[in-house]
Amino acid sequence: MPSLTMSLQEMLFSQGFGTRRICSGLVEQGYVAYMQAGEWLNTYDPGQILAIEEAMPFEVQGAHWFYYSKAYLMLHKPTGTECSQKPSTWPSIYSLLPTPLRQRPVKSAVQGVQAVGRLDQDTTGLLLLTDDGQFIHRMSSPKHHVPKVYQVITENEMSATVCEKLSLGVVLNDDPKPVKGHDCKLIEPKHLELTLTEGKYHQVKRMLAAVGHHVVRLHRSRIGNLQLPTDLLPGQWRWLSAADIQQLWMKN
């Protein structure tokens, strides 16, 4: 991607470090460093013009950051959190993110990165966040059939016929059209791996209830071909790499 030019103040504002006045103050107080042509530089001038490239390193008050025109993140959602900016009972997943990611300016009424779909408060696993509306639509729309893989633990043991029923389709109480699992594998008597390409309210739990089983633990392990990294612990987040995004677009 070609470089663009903008002032240091505007660059900080675009990355969510507060109002333009706050960003100006950070520079004037010497809290900001940035990299140009492989060299770390400092300035007290908020109007300093920079050549900006994707993933350009910079520091604010000693914290290391990278410039991204759009933010793409993965989060290992822990249990007991809500995918809402205004949670009703449990802490918000957004409280796990640093303030600049929650303040990135966007054209819509809601600031910052947004979750791509939702997971229930007691569901753990891979969650994507971004401020790119087209990316959210591409990953969420059932028209694109992006597979989501869930590890399902049930209260009682299951037989192989459970996967057969889920693959053929089950009827949920508010939808006369059968809902099918894209793929289903019985891993252990109380553990199956279920792949879905659409998302309905409490879908996995309701599908298992339709075949007579109660879900006691639910974990999303993969979206598309992007697997939740084993070293990303519950509550931790990281930027999506170009390779990660390519994994999301790849056909299964």
Domains in the chain (CATH in brackets) are 4-66 (3.10.290.10), 73-141+237-249 (3.30.70.580), 147-223 (3.30.70.1560)
Q: Is residue 190 predicted with pLDDT exceeding 70?
A: yes
CA torsion sign for 231, 232, 235, 237 is positive
List the Cα angle 92/97/99 in 5-degree steps.
Answer: 105
Q: What is the pLDDT of residue 217?
A: 98
Q: What is the pLDDT of residue 130?
A: 97
| Confidence category of residue 251, pLDDT binned at 50, 70, 90 | low
Q: What is the pLDDT of residue 166?
A: 96
Q: Is residue 26 predicted with pLDDT exceeding 70?
A: yes
Q: Is residue 226 predicted with pLDDT exceeding 90?
A: yes
| Confidence category of residue 235, pLDDT binned at 50, 70, 90 | very high
Q: What is the pLDDT of residue 1?
A: 52
Which tens digit of pLDDT belongs to each residue from 72-99?
Answer: 999 999 999 999 999 889 999 999 999 9
| Confidence category of residue 199, pLDDT binned at 50, 70, 90 | confident
Q: What is the pLDDT of residue 142?
A: 75
Residues 6+ apart with CB under 8 A from 7: 46, 47, 48, 49, 50
Choose among 125, 127, 129: nearest CA to 104. Answer: 129
The residues annotated as belonging to the active site are 120
Q: Where are the alpha helices (DSSP H) in the chain?
A: 8-14, 20-28, 99-103, 133-140, 160-168, 203-210, 242-249
C-alpha radius of gyration, the chain, whole number: 22
Q: Around Cβ 97, how many Cβ atoms within 10 Å?
A: 17
Which tens digit of pLDDT belongs to each residue from 133-179?
Answer: 999 988 988 777 899 999 999 999 999 899 999 999 999 877 778 89
What mean pLDDT is predicted for residues 8-28? 97
**102: exposed, middle or buried (Cβ count in 10 Å: 0-12, 13-18, 19+):** middle
Cβ–Cβ under 8 Å, residues 115 and 83: yes
Q: What is the pLDDT of residue 111?
A: 87
| Confidence category of residue 109, pLDDT binned at 50, 70, 90 | low
Instruction: Give the Cα separation of 240 and 220 in Å (integer).
Output: 17
Cβ–Cβ under 8 Å, residues 113 and 103: no
Q: What is the pLDDT of residue 2?
A: 55
Instruction: Give the Cα separation of 60 and 179 in Å (integer).
Output: 49
Q: What is the pLDDT of residue 185?
A: 96
Which tens digit of pLDDT belongs to each residue from 44-73?
Answer: 999 999 999 999 999 999 999 999 999 999
Average pLDDT of the chain is 93
Q: What is the pLDDT of residue 252?
A: 55
